[in-house]
Homo-oligomer: A and B are copies of this chain.
Amino acid sequence: MGKKYVYLFSEGNAKMRDVLGGKGANLAEMTGLGLPVPQGFTISTEACTQYYADECQINDEIQAQIWEYVAKMEEINGKKFGDKENPLLVSVRSGARASMPGMMDTILNLGLNDEVVEVLTKKSGNPRWAWDCYRRFIQMFSDVVMGVGKKHFERLIDELKEEKGIQHDVDLSAEDLKRLATLFKAEYKEKIGKDFPSDPKEQLLEAIKAVFRSWDNPRANVYRRDNDIPYSWGTAVNVMPMVFGNMGERSGTGVAFTRDPATGEKKLMGEFLINAQGEDVVAGIRTPMPISKMAEIMPDVFEQFKKVCTILENHYRDMQDMEFTIEEGKLYMLQTRNGKRTAKAALKIACDLVDEGMRTEKEALLMIDPRNLDTLLHPQFDEKALKSATPIGRGLAASPGAACGKIVFTARDAKEWNERGEKVILVRLETSPEDIEGMKAAQGILTVRGGMTSHAAVVARGMGTCCVCGCSDIIMDEENKKFTIGGKTYHEGDFISIDGSTGYIYEGIIPTVDASIVGEFSRIMSWADKNRRLSVRTNADTVRDATKAYELGAEGIGLCRTEHMFFDKIEAFREMICSDTVEGRKKALDKILPIQQKDFEGLYEAMQGYPVTIRFLDPPLHEFVPTEEKDIKELAESTGKTVEEIKAIIAGLHEFNPMMGHRGCRLVVTYSEIGEMQTRAVIRAAINTKKRHPDWDVVPEIMIPLVGEAKELTFIRKIVVETAEEEIKAAGIDLKYKVGTMIEIPRAALTADEIAKDAEFFSFGTNDLTQMTFGFSRDDATKFLPEYYDRKILENDPFARLDQTGVGKLVKMAVELGKKTRPDIKLGICGEHGGDPSSIEFCHNLGLTYVSCSPFRVPVARLAAAQAAIRESMQ
């Protein structure tokens, strides 16, 4: 017997998510719980994988199983495809292990054809409904399965409405809809070159293939990359008998959450539409009613639905996001899943579930996606400024946070304006999956149509972007890139401000203030701190950043870049670069010394006794020389050289591959006086701070970048130690300091045992380590990486998520070799990966001492570190 590729809902359960996908597993689980689910089947994710292995064919074995299960479904439901008495209609829906908005969603009413529609008409006595279903199916199948855009069909509807002098779709008669069905089929034939398929089995097979195909569409690939979902997982396909929310006033369809996905408040939330099919709610075409209205309109169904909600929430011990349909007074559950939520809601729900005794603290911590936390730290409008601002309109508060920016009207503009440094608010009638890139680029999103579960709202919440939607007061003129609200017209480029927490829209710029960690956030963080083993530091080189990071819980600075301190005194540094003698260079550096010392004092103060790791100058010198003729002339004057000489010096600094050139510790090997000056600044600053705060534990950590050979570090360490001892002796104070190195050159990782002899700590510079290990110049790789994603050669940006296979192997090797030489060596990471949860887990598992990340990522790292420790303890 071959592999089982198809499962009845009654054959599965929630634990089979890998095989059945999330949607299929939960339909099975609900079936097991005895909830009202139309009984269909799920084609497994393995069938999808096999489809790709077979070069995009559904093989005979799988087809045979599908037909076998179609027969079973027909028998269970007492209906048959194309039957003259009881014809079966089905929905076909994708469903991967993780919910993926980028994929094909749903085909409804599959199984209809010219005969079946007549049967339905007769059977229901509702020809308008039957023909509406049929024309919707043709439209949806053509669009989703065959790629004939919706607009072609909408044009036909518009033409008919114009001809008949009708305004709304609902005013179309059964006859009109029948005519539309005919027109649609003709349109299909013209575009596809074949008749619209009338055989339900052919329709089904095509729909299944379309779901499989959608796993590999560009939107899905982008989403997967953003969410660390492997391509190899594949998607399942759910085939379910139709129930109809559009059979009249006793029918309807809706979506609901057991808790508020925006705030986390424990109350049934949701929206529904009477006499509609599911797509109408999600697409945001009609603005739906709040779910509470159901209590008035269909009190019995509402009571039943509330019970179902309670059962599901208690069963999954998490907030549920459900889809349902009411067919002539009967409730059907079409989907349930753990609901997506804002970061704020995630925190509240986690705390509430603990308080309700449903989850332990550890479990609750694991329920929060660390990546979303920083959305909570997004700015809010300054309350004072807000008081004097009058809203120009209000929509739904779809995704919290405050944003202001220039108005743009297309996703493309949003992306382009953002790339040139503009902050923009994307204003759309409604959004669609094509808009994703633009939505990412925008500070905020404002839509005219659609509810809290519309595309714009769902996606914005997922991204942590502020969003106001369904603002129907806006009169949109997309073509001319303007809109009118309250009698005033706003054009592309005008500033507006939107508040995703209140739904208010304001004219102009309203100042924002940063958020802080209070309430549930602080509670969750305290749980995280209890559970984590990794220490969390920050990458900061200004007092402002360091102070912010300290507030957010940073336990030290893991990386203070010092290059900006040279830019702050650029004339002196240029003098140094142009000097031919050690004395000349020292004289120039002496001018920089007090400035750096002051900067370091500020950082020690901000960190209040936590360790501060200072990295010596890293970039190549050519980044500091002037390019403008005027500046070159000035430099010539100040150094007493000719313009030609200065130009020759600049030309001499040119490099073919600056990333692998004369930078990092190589600068101190050549110009030891730079290392001497920086050591003096670091140590003097520490001495002063220690004098002011004798109780603080001021232990500067001097970090040498780009070491690739142990002798480099030995050479520089000697300079540092000699200089530091001289300063400490002169101050007559007892000061400890550490000397360590970045591990960011492959050779450093390979020879870490040697390097550890002179390094009291290692800090993994995974940005450069990734560049060199892959041989990817980060600046240049952006040009070809998209093609790597398209061809599935890479699934993630290795600069965002640590490549554990290759780069990680070097890190692991360096950890082991380093500990062999120096068992108590301090190990940290200061590349951008230090703020990425999956990379943090890797660092935890390797036994690193700390991770260091940007200030706003500190809470993310605290939580991720806790999750890593909890997951480890669960193994």
Name A residues whose Cβ lies closer than 8 Å to a Cβ of B.
655-662, 666, 669-670, 706, 708-709, 711-712, 715, 744-747, 750-751, 754, 768, 771-777, 779-781, 783-784, 787-788, 791-794, 803, 805-807, 809-810
**Residue on B with the closest CB to A810?**
B750
A779 proximity list for chain B (CB < 8 A): 655-657
> Quick one: which of B658, B660, B666, B744 contacts A771, CB cutoff 8 A?
B660
| B807–A747 touching, CB < 8 Å | yes
**Residue on B with the closest CB to A786?**
B670
Smallest beta-carbon distance A50→chain B, Å = 18
Known interface pairs A750-B773, A750-B810, A773-B747; A784-B655 also in contact (CB < 8 Å): no
A793 to B717, CA, bound (A): 13
A660 proximity list for chain B (CB < 8 A): 657, 659-660, 771-772, 775-777, 780-781
Smallest beta-carbon distance A795→chain B, Å = 9
Known interface pairs A751-B805, A773-B747; A793-B659 also in contact (CB < 8 Å): no
Smallest beta-carbon distance A577→chain B, Å = 14
Q: Can you report 18 residue pairs joining A to B where beta carbons are below 8 Å apart?
A: A656-B659, A656-B779, A657-B657, A658-B777, A660-B772, A660-B777, A661-B780, A669-B793, A709-B794, A715-B793, A746-B772, A746-B773, A747-B803, A747-B807, A750-B809, A750-B810, A772-B772, A772-B773
| B656–A783 touching, CB < 8 Å | no
| A655–B780 touching, CB < 8 Å | yes
| B777–A655 touching, CB < 8 Å | yes
Smallest beta-carbon distance A170→chain B, Å = 47
> Quick one: which of B709, B744, B777 contacts A793, CB cutoff 8 A?
B709
A787 proximity list for chain B (CB < 8 A): 669-670
A709 proximity list for chain B (CB < 8 A): 774, 793-794, 806
A331 to B666, CA, bound (A): 55
A776 proximity list for chain B (CB < 8 A): 660, 708
| A658–B656 touching, CB < 8 Å | yes
Smallest beta-carbon distance A639→chain B, Å = 21
**Extra pairs beyond A669-B784, A750-B809 (19, CB < 8 Å):** A656-B779, A657-B658, A660-B771, A660-B772, A662-B784, A670-B784, A708-B776, A711-B791, A711-B793, A715-B791, A715-B793, A746-B746, A747-B773, A747-B775, A750-B806, A751-B805, A751-B809, A772-B773, A772-B775
Smallest beta-carbon distance A786→chain B, Å = 10
| B662–A783 touching, CB < 8 Å | yes
A777 to B775, CA, bound (A): 11
For the complex of A and B, the 5 pairs showing the least CB-CB separation, nearest first, are A657-B777, A660-B777, A747-B806, A661-B780, A745-B775
Smallest beta-carbon distance A816→chain B, Å = 13
A473 to B687, CA, bound (A): 74
| A788–B656 touching, CB < 8 Å | no
Smallest beta-carbon distance A425→chain B, Å = 31
A708 proximity list for chain B (CB < 8 A): 773-776, 806
A775 proximity list for chain B (CB < 8 A): 659-660, 706, 708, 744-747, 768, 772
| B791–A669 touching, CB < 8 Å | yes
A712 proximity list for chain B (CB < 8 A): 793
Which of A655, A780, A783 neighbours the largest number of chain B CB atoms within 10 Å of its CB? Answer: A780
A606 to B149, CA, bound (A): 60
A662 to B780, CA, bound (A): 7
| A669–B747 touching, CB < 8 Å | no
A771 to B768, CA, bound (A): 14
A657 proximity list for chain B (CB < 8 A): 657-660, 777, 779-780
> Quick one: which of B777, B791, B792 contacts A656, CB cutoff 8 A?
B777
A777 proximity list for chain B (CB < 8 A): 655-661
| A784–B750 touching, CB < 8 Å | no
Smallest beta-carbon distance A616→chain B, Å = 16
A793 proximity list for chain B (CB < 8 A): 669, 709, 711-712, 715
Smallest beta-carbon distance A753→chain B, Å = 10
Smallest beta-carbon distance A133→chain B, Å = 43
A657 to B670, CA, bound (A): 22
A771 proximity list for chain B (CB < 8 A): 660
Smallest beta-carbon distance A725→chain B, Å = 16
A715 proximity list for chain B (CB < 8 A): 791, 793
A658 proximity list for chain B (CB < 8 A): 656-657, 777, 780
A805 proximity list for chain B (CB < 8 A): 750-751, 754
> Quick one: which of B666, B669, B751 contacts A806, CB cutoff 8 A?
B751
A709 to B785, CA, bound (A): 13
Which of A715, A746, A803, A806 neighbours the largest number of chain B CB atoms within 10 Å of its CB? Answer: A746
Smallest beta-carbon distance A419→chain B, Å = 15
**Residue on B with the closest CB to A805?**
B751
A666 proximity list for chain B (CB < 8 A): 784
A768 proximity list for chain B (CB < 8 A): 775
A781 to B666, CA, bound (A): 10
A783 to B657, CA, bound (A): 13
A779 to B777, CA, bound (A): 16
**Residue on B with the closest CB to A744?**
B775
**Residue on B with the closest CB to A809?**
B750
**Residue on B with the closest CB to A794?**
B709
Smallest beta-carbon distance A51→chain B, Å = 18
A659 to B658, CA, bound (A): 10
A810 proximity list for chain B (CB < 8 A): 746, 750
A747 to B808, CA, bound (A): 10
Smallest beta-carbon distance A654→chain B, Å = 9
A794 to B706, CA, bound (A): 15
A792 to B715, CA, bound (A): 9
A662 proximity list for chain B (CB < 8 A): 780, 783-784
A745 to B776, CA, bound (A): 10
A11 to B732, CA, bound (A): 53
A774 proximity list for chain B (CB < 8 A): 708-709, 745, 747
A783 proximity list for chain B (CB < 8 A): 662
Smallest beta-carbon distance A673→chain B, Å = 14
A330 to B137, CA, bound (A): 118
A706 to B661, CA, bound (A): 20
A784 to B663, CA, bound (A): 10
Smallest beta-carbon distance A227→chain B, Å = 20
| A780–B746 touching, CB < 8 Å | no
**Residue on B with the closest CB to A807?**
B747
A179 to B657, CA, bound (A): 63
Smallest beta-carbon distance A580→chain B, Å = 15
Smallest beta-carbon distance A794→chain B, Å = 7
A788 proximity list for chain B (CB < 8 A): 669
Smallest beta-carbon distance A615→chain B, Å = 16
Smallest beta-carbon distance A490→chain B, Å = 35
Which of A670, A715, A750, A792 neighbours the largest number of chain B CB atoms within 10 Å of its CB? Answer: A750
A738 to B805, CA, bound (A): 27
A659 to B803, CA, bound (A): 21
A754 proximity list for chain B (CB < 8 A): 805
A776 to B658, CA, bound (A): 9
Smallest beta-carbon distance A773→chain B, Å = 5
**Residue on B with the closest CB to A708?**
B774
**Residue on B with the closest CB to A712?**
B793
Smallest beta-carbon distance A780→chain B, Å = 4
A711 proximity list for chain B (CB < 8 A): 791-794
A772 proximity list for chain B (CB < 8 A): 660, 746, 772-773, 775
A659 to B775, CA, bound (A): 8
Smallest beta-carbon distance A772→chain B, Å = 5
Which of A746, A775, A803 neighbours the largest number of chain B CB atoms within 10 Å of its CB? Answer: A775
Smallest beta-carbon distance A156→chain B, Å = 34
A655 to B782, CA, bound (A): 11
A670 proximity list for chain B (CB < 8 A): 784, 787
Smallest beta-carbon distance A752→chain B, Å = 11
Smallest beta-carbon distance A875→chain B, Å = 25
**Residue on B with the closest CB to A806?**
B747
A660 to B783, CA, bound (A): 12
A791 to B805, CA, bound (A): 36
A745 proximity list for chain B (CB < 8 A): 773-775
